[in-house]
Amino acid sequence: MSNIHSKETAPEVLLRNSLWRLGFRYRMNDKRLPGKPDIVLPKYRTVIFVHGCFWHGHHDCKKYVVPKSNTEYWIKKVSGNKQRDENVWRQLEAKGWSVIIVWECEIEKKRFPETIERVENEIIANGIMFQKRLQERRITREQRLDERRAQKEKYEALKAELSR
């Protein structure tokens, strides 16, 4: 158990190196965000969690097998991890972040090319959505400012008319 780490795991390092080679720049384990995501891509408003199949209960995965001893403890432990993960995802999504989950088994040699392609496509799509949301917010903000200016002008005109 002492060899189990939450940072700098081999799957995480492999994914990070591949993303770096593709030109993505990121932060690691940002403490300002819920759950301290493994990889944070602020430009794309995306976070990536690299989950171990056993520890996060990857359904229908050969790497997730409930141990035969102390079964109750492990079932409770893994279900607690899953519940915490869901809470963290909800918090991040409520703050406008897109969440990508990469499972340990998806980092295996034969599956990695399709995994990195999926992650790259999701990051780019999230970036496009984020830019659209920013543009919509700018437009809405400008519309509100125009409305306020118009109201102020009406108010000033009424004030000038009343003072005559």
pLDDT of residue 5: 56
Give Cβ neighbours of residue 83 (< 8 Å, ≥ 6 apart): none
Q: Quick one: which of 34, 126, 48, 30 has its CA closest to 87?
A: 34
Superfamily name with CATH number, domain 10-129: VSR Endonuclease (3.40.960.10)
Hey, where are the domains in the chain? 10-129
Whether the full predicted model's pTM is greater than 0.75, yes or no, is yes
pLDDT of residue 130: 92
Give Cβ neighbours of residue 5 (< 8 Å, ≥ 6 apart): none
**Band of residue 113 on the pLDDT scale cut at 50, 70, 90:** very high
First to last CA, the chain: 84
* Number of alpha carbons in the 13 Å side-chain half-sphere of residue 60: 0
pLDDT of residue 2: 47
Q: What is the pLDDT of residues 1-34, one digit of tens each?
A: 445 556 778 899 999 999 999 999 999 999 999 9
pLDDT of residue 62: 87
